[in-house]
Amino acid sequence: MEITELVKMLEGYVRDLRREFHQYPELSYEEIETTKRIAAELETMGIPYEIHPEKNTGLIAIIHGAHEGSAVALRADIDALNVTEINDVDFKSRHEGKMHACGHDSHIAMLLGAARMLLAMKDDIYGTVYLIFQPAEELGSGASYMMRFGNWYDEIGAIFGAHAWIDTPAGKISVKEGANLAAGDQFTIRVHGKSGHASQPQQTVDAIVVSAAIVMNLQSIVSRHYSATEPVVLTIGMLHSGDRFNIIAGEAVMEGTTRFFDPAIGADLKSTMERIIIDTAHAYGATAELEYKEMVLPTINDKECTAIMSQAVVDVLGKDALFDISETMGGEDFAYYLKHKPGCFAFVGIYNPAVGAVHSHHSNNFTMDDSVLSGGSGVYAQSAINWLKLHRKKNT
């Protein structure tokens, strides 16, 4: 059966799976029931799989083609977020305070749809396709977790992934060579002042005032320390301090993230931040320290794999489906797969005002046009088939 026919035939299947997974979100490394449900679906297809035994979440499935050849991988992440959904839909999250607010439910559904398509096209498969259902992308550690499970990563010649993307119109897919997603690091700042009565500030060192100064001074790194042509983001996402309205806080904790593409900037950020944090605190009579954690690398698409995935979009949806977007400062731990193997990461458009799909990722209003997801499944499947065909002479 032709891939275009399969996309139409499986539209409802992929949509319904996405809505089912949407109702039962699980947080990073807690996706045990999600993993079981994926396994059950694979069993109905007769596809062998193994569940990662370390935490009983995440699995690897394998499809052997009709012909000998190399191996390629397709990856989907499966974790949800600590977000309370406020959408009024009949498939709303049933787990209070948890939501698939980044679209990973659709990634699961697209890869399961691709599995059905690959089974229907086994005669076109020259080698082996691994299906990687990965937990904990939101923590930036799920890729490494899956890479140490079995020998699949050593065996593959390339890997392909995709993300449902609200900045791309529904029915369009963006595939871009080179840097697509930024490196993303995490940091914690602890401020130590001196608490006291609100009516006697002269006897205290106000940790909130110190923290406010640190927040403002850190912004000068982006605006004054680096070139305006270099994409850099520094965001404080959390600041906790104080216990009562009439007590001056003596302690404060901040958490945030940095984003960049140039590794040289990444190496410089920590020392520059540390200098500003310590010196600002000292100027107010306080002390402070920085804990800095590298999370994900930049996601950089391989030239050949980008061409293969772009052609897959054309094969499945037509040349008009290709959509050009610039790189984003979001981060993805898919980058760790690309550190030692070529691959490509695409963006599947889900933006459609007609169905309310206009809100950003991680929003409690986030939703998508899920009628287009089977097209993403088709691109997954066709990318694997195209890569294996291109490399069959080298590996058979």
- Determine whether 36 is exposed, middle or buried from the number of CB atoms within 10 Å of its CB (0-12, 13-18, 19+): middle
CA distances 40 to 36, 113, 116, 185, 201, Å, are: 6, 14, 14, 36, 63
Instruction: Map tokens 């000998």 to a residue.
Output: 68
At residue 224, the 3 state secondary structure works out as helix
Flag whether 362 is marked binding: yes
Render 341-355 in DSSP notation, one character per residue.
Answer: S-EEEEEEEEEBGGG
Query: How far out from the chain centre does Cα 383 lie?
Result: 20
- Residues 272 and 221: beta-carbon distance below 8 Å: yes
CA distances 17 to 49, 222, 314, Å, are: 19, 42, 25
Please state, in angstroms and rounded to a whole number, the distance separating the CA atoms of residues 183 and 212.
26
Helix axes 373-390, 303-317, angle to 10 degrees: 130
At residue 185, the 3 state secondary structure works out as strand
Flag whether 344 is marked binding: no
Please state, in angstroms and rounded to a whole number, the distance separating the CA atoms of residues 55 and 32.
8
Flag whether 104 is marked binding: yes
Which amino acid is located at 147 in the chain? M
Flag whether 305 is marked binding: no
Flag whether 67 is marked binding: no
Residue 331 token pair = 């981060």
Residues belonging to the binding site are: 102, 104, 138, 163, 362
Residues belonging to the binding site for Mn(2+) are: 102, 104, 138, 163, 362
